[in-house]
Amino acid sequence: MKKFDVPSFYRSPIISRVKAKRKIQDPRKQDFSPSVLHFNKITFHLARHFGFCYGVENAIEIAYRAIKENPEKRIYLLSQMIHNPAVNDDLTKIGIAFLQDTDGKQLISFESLKAEDIVIIPAFGTTLDIEDRLKIIGCDIQAYNTTCPFVEKVWNRSGKLGSQGHTIIIHGKAEHEETRATFSRSAAISPSLVIKDMEEAVYLGKIISGDIDQANFYPYFEGKYTANFNPELDLVRIGVVNQTTMLATETESITAYLRSVLIEKFGAENIKNHMADTRDTLCYATNDNQTSTLSLMDNEYDLAIVIGGYNSSNTTHLVEILESKFPTYFIKDESEIISKNEIHSFNIHQKFVEQRPSFLPDLPHINIALTSGASCPDSLMDEVIQRILTLCEEDKSIEEVLLDL
């Protein structure tokens, strides 16, 4: 796989060695068991895969290249390139300004842009409408387009399905930049609908089967379907794609459920005429990170820590997995670890950072599960490990532990 040129401060002396060792031991990535860093007072169990994915490293490399190649020009990011505050803060410090926030709210007017300005498209991509507006201004949006190749793969698959007469069902969060971008493209070709989870899929299935009156489709899915969507006609032949940061297992479950509904209605012998096979649109990196986190669930830990941006969809799903079994703390970086008895953790359900006491248990030896989102630099994982070792007054050196890997 390609190696990217990203700033050295995103790399990590600890994690880089752990990942390098695992790559040698498991080059085909078939072993999803965690990496273990065994100290005298603490053992860290690191998920097999975590941190920067291909799309994120690609985006960071392109953004820094844009700065290097255009020292005299104004450089803008359409919105947050990735959902990590450390990365976005760094880009701001070196002179990049954001045109929009993650919800699409305008921070800098497009009218203030000039043709010679550099506009970087984020890894999530953007809508056709915004692309057209920037083209009218004259901005070159291709030179530094950081859209993830796996997001583009979903777009291409959606386009092919739409041209074959399928309605596109997008498993995603309607407000997320990536889903808005995918929806804009599928909507230009075919009827499209965004569903958030299995609950919405079941409701849709009942509309397809006739258990719920089709008139209820419109208020239930308000704002999530294309103009002139007709449930009677547009739910006969479908294909499911996803926002690449959603739980891959949930996308697969939703697809399997809708397939079963269509088999019940039209017969197994006719299913190919009503349901497309879209397994090839799942992002390998998201899948690897989620599978690695699920493997952590096979063991017992005193607590789990997930590191990443609080508005990161893929990171949130890692928290959802781990908190079902362990006391789980979602932090953006080591600064949230106040003391052995206090940590500031993001509550994914109520959407706020809460103060949580009794952070590190009073035990002779503590087992901690660790992972991070796909937009989280490995250096932040390093800093969290170092912070905990300091708080616990660990007397075994990191170098000694790394030699034992």
User: Could you list the active site residues?
Assistant: 178
Sign of the alpha-carbon dihedral angle for 264, 270, 275, 276: positive
Residue 382 to residues 16, 21, 60, 361, 372, Cα–Cα distance (Å): 10, 16, 20, 21, 11
- 283 vs 5: CA distance, rounded Å: 22
Residues 6 or more apart in contact with residue 381 via CB below 8 angstroms: 12, 14, 15, 46, 50, 51, 307, 370, 372
Q: How far apart are CA 363 and CA 138, in angstroms?
A: 62
CA torsion angle 352 353 358 362 (round to 10): 120
Q: How far apart are CA 287 and CA 149, in angstroms?
A: 15
